[in-house]
Structure 1
Amino acid sequence: MKPLLLRATLALCMLPVAWLAAEGIGSLSLAWKASRTPIVLREQFHCEYDPDLGWMNKPNWRAPNVYGPGIDLNTNSQRLRGTREHALGKPAGTYRVLCLGDSFTMGYGVADDESYPARLEQACPGLEAICMGLGGFGLDQAYLWYRRDGVKFEIDTLLVAVIDGDFYRMVALEKATESPKPQLELHEGRLVVTNVPVPNYFVRPETFSGGMSLWKASALYRWISGRSKPASAPAAPVAFRDMPFAPLARAVFEQLRDLSRERGQRLVVVYLPVRNEAVIGRTPLCDEWLAPMLRELGIDLVELIPDFKALTPGRLNTHYLADGHYSELGNTLAAAVLLRELRRLDPGVPR
């Protein structure tokens, strides 16, 4: 072998070693784990594959101490949080609210009777709250879940609770086949569901994409990518109304509004402040886009930020868990605000 060719071959062989040295074994180990971890892994202890929605609660599931000693998670035969079964027809003399949302509605991190739907029911005898929340769901999945299963229940109010992340979860990945969820698209102004049946990430074998994710997570890849692209000025901030999720979310709310009118039920959207929003005392996504859009659509909006903002910093910390979800106190406050606002909007709510 010629000396020049030999040196070139040795240099190529040393590239992986140099990459490992540049990255550090520890950081690459974390990236490798992340590249091989299904997106829905956090929910796998109480969920199973659902071809329409991606994942769903297992029925009649018991998970004792799942969030800590004495903090259990249970589901009923209807795949809803808690052990009680809900009749499809509304019980006589009962005001019924269906709480639709993500992990904040499900009560991630707290016991069955400490979620805000449970606290809402406890604070108001004569009110029944159906807890229809599931971790990791975006507004799109919650909407599809309600269309499939939630419409079976006769209710007085459909309460759709959202956080800012629920809208970003609506944005499709570059490759739909690598997404463990259905995707909503607008075709000539009409909502269309794609990527169904959803790829089953609960049994999905590891593929080469894991290695590619590892490579793309590395500093060396980012350095090479940066060197190969011309420098450019920072991109201007994109207004929320111009985000990819905005037209999809608007169409979802229009559908829920029209469906609620047909069914003779009230529709209320609730914006739940996450910790950083409570700290700064404002909700940019809601203030700048969601609230004006819902006013235009004639949909009631309840914002919890004034009540969370009123807490002192020390008290505010007690209302959130370390992972950012509401603590028992946070859920209790959310329920109190919701009950107050529901009574303001509807004289039929028990007092």
Structure 2
Amino acid sequence: MNRKLLLWLMVPFVGLLLSEPLLRLADPPGLQYYRRSKMVHAYHPDYTISLRPSTSEYLDHPSGLWEGQFTVNSYGMRDLEEPQPGRSKTLCLGDSLAMGHGVGDGLNFCHLLKNRAGSLQVLNASVDGFGTYAYALRTEEVVSQIDSVKTVLLFPSPTDWWIPKRFRERGILPDDEKDLMRKDDAAYKNLFRAQFKATEWFYSLQALKLSQEQLQLRKTIFANDLLTFVESLGKRSPSEALRASTAHLNDALIRKPSRCSEQKTIPSMTCPEPLPEGLLCSDSEPDYEPLPEFTQQNLNRLIHFTRAKGIRLVVVLLPMQEEEIRCAAHGKFHENGLYAVQARRFFKEKGIDVIELMPYTKSMCRTEVPEKEQRIGDFFLREDGHLTELGNRWAADALMSELSKRGLYPEAR
């Protein structure tokens, strides 16, 4: 009996050994992005995920949304240059948006600031997946490694401590909640480390993990969509419900032939852009709610550290959700802006300078020259939320304008 059990247990192990060289040799295009992205990241014992020092990979997103070289310097920063001793430095600190997910080397807004900063060196210490806990630890780590850090530009993200209900229902949690679980649960932290290392060593295990995550995500999305559809049927008459059910099955199960001859017409553009159907805006900001206790602890730690070191901390509220921007274009507000309300109030009460770039979003809609018309959607990766090359140039211009007003770039040009 024990021998049979042992043989059954050997089957997946043998399968893993056989599939590993085949996967590495084939390097399937659908997995290349995830594998190469994995190789520019490393496990970090304190804040879980970091960028792997002195690495460079060409990333080509499978959706076709973006591609480019992703280079990490010897200090684990997404940067093409090393810190220069004795030179005054400004650190960009944030998650994937500030790190530059969505663009190749040299095109992220933090890097674009370098060309206008004079003798000041701008370095990007951001890492995707960071929350406020990692912000505090990463700042302490970098300041202990390099000299002359004068300013830290912090780019808080909506997913640091808050997340829309529809994402939470899919099992996606804010970064701070995940960090709190890892911080207090040794078993969880050890399991995460083992999983990260195993998928780093074995291509086949990473492929299995990606498949499992995709299946789970699709299952959750399907369940949510089905529940919403069933609830909508209950509000209709029997005949309407039957027609809706037939249409739903048609759309879900029957693939309609594409008509290549049909020409897509682009509607004439006006500024501000009309609000999309279903987007709900309000006349006042979302009601203030205090930040979670864990988040406050982390941000207070960051504030105290930078003040003790004589470093100026500046918080930048960079609009990164189309709902907020579209509502703001009409002088209104969206509920997704709650994180910005919370961050603004918290940091201003602590005497920290807060830069708000929302007013600059008015320049996203332009119709002066037909060949160069711009829409809000042109600044963000479709269904992703990260900045495109155009979006990064916009952010760099807006940020430089605000930094110059504050005298943070006396040699700016």
TM-score range, shorter chain: 0.5 to 0.7
| Distance (Å, rounded) in 1 between the aligned partners of 2:361 and 2:217 | 39
Question: How far, CA to CA, are the matches of 2:304 and 2:109 in structure 1?
Answer: 26
Matched, 1:277 2:324: yes
Q: Distance in 2 between matches of 1:296 and 1:148?
A: 26
Shift of 1:320: 1.4
Q: 2 CA distance for matches of 1:125 and 1:325? A: 28
- Whether the 8 Å CA contact 1:318–1:330 is kept in 2: the answer is yes
Is 1:66 equivalent to 2:63 in the alignment?
no
TM superposition shift of 1:77: 1.6
Match of residue 305 from structure 1: 358
1:350 paired residue number: 411
Residue deviations 1:24-70 (CA, integer Å, cap 9, x gap): xxxxxxxxxxxxxxxx9895242122232222212221212535787
Say whether the 8 Å CA contact 1:127–1:349 is kept in structure 2. Answer: no
Relative to structure 1, the CA distance from residue 132 to residue 212 in structure 2 (aligned partners, 3 Å threshold; closer, same or farther) is closer
Q: Say whether the 8 Å CA contact 2:67–2:102 is kept in structure 1.
A: no
Tell me the number of residue pairs that the alignment of Structure 1 and Structure 2 aligns: 280
**Counterpart in 1 of 2:399?**
338
Instruction: Say whether residues 1:160 and 2:154 are aligned partners.
Output: yes
Corresponding position of 1:135: 128
C-alpha change, 1:149 and 1:124, in structure 2 (3 Å) is closer
Identity among equivalent positions (%) equals: 24
Unaligned runs of 5+ in 2: 1-33, 200-204, 231-285, 367-372
Alignment of 1:107-122 (within 5 A): 107-122=100-115
Q: Which has the higher helix share?
A: 2
Is the partner of 1:121 in helix, strand or coil? helix
Structure 2 distance, partners of 1:307, 1:214, is 37
Match of 1:80 among 77, 80, 99: 77
CA–CA distance in structure 1, aligned partners of residues 131 and 390 of structure 2: 25
The CA deviation string for residues 263-289 of structure 1, in whole angstroms up to 9 with x for no partner, is 111000111111322222256225532
1:25 corresponding residue in structure 2:
none
Match of 2:179 among 180, 183, 195: 183
Asked if 1 retains the 8 angstrom alpha-carbon contact of 2:364 and 2:379, the reply is: no
Paired with 2:108 and 2:123, the residues of 1 have a C-alpha distance of 11
Do the aligned partners of residues 213 and 107 (structure 1) sit closer, same or farther apart at CA in structure 2, a change above 3 Å counting?
closer
What is the aligned partner in structure 2 of residue 10 from structure 1?
none
Offset of residue 143 of structure 1: 2.3
Contact 2:156 2:317 in 1 (8 A): yes
Q: Distance in 1 between matches of 2:78 and 2:134?
A: 17
Deviation at 1:195, TM superposition (A): 3.7
C-alpha distance in 1, partners of 2:96/2:153? 15
Are the aligned partners of 1:53 and 1:181 in contact in 2 as well (CA < 8 Å)? no
| CA displacement 1:112-143 (0-9 Å, x = unmatched) | 11011101111222221111111222222232
Contiguous gaps of at least 5 residues in structure 1: 1-39, 186-191, 227-237
- Please report the RMSD computed on the Cα atoms of aligned residues, expressed in angstroms: 3.8
Q: CA separation in 1, counterparts of 2:396 and 2:302?
A: 22
Correspondence 1:256-275 to 2 at 5 A: 256-274=302-320, 275=322
Q: How does 1:188-207 map to 2 (within 5 A)?
A: 193-195=183-185, 197=189, 199-200=192-193, 201-202=195-196, 203=198
SS in 2 for 1:156: strand
Q: Which segment is superposed worse, 301-310 or 311-320? A: 311-320
Tell me if 1:48 matches 2:42: yes
Amino acid at match of 1:247: E
- Corresponding position: 1:327 with 2:388: yes
Which residue in the other structure is 1:19 paired with? none
Report the CA distance shift for 1:266/1:160 in structure 2 as closer, same or farther (over 3 A).
same
Q: Measure, in 2, the Cα distance between the counterparts of 1:42 and 1:319.
A: 25
TM-score by length of 1: 0.67
Q: Would the aligned equivalents of 2:51 and 2:72 in 1 still touch at CA under 8 Å?
A: yes
Match of 2:138 in 1: 145
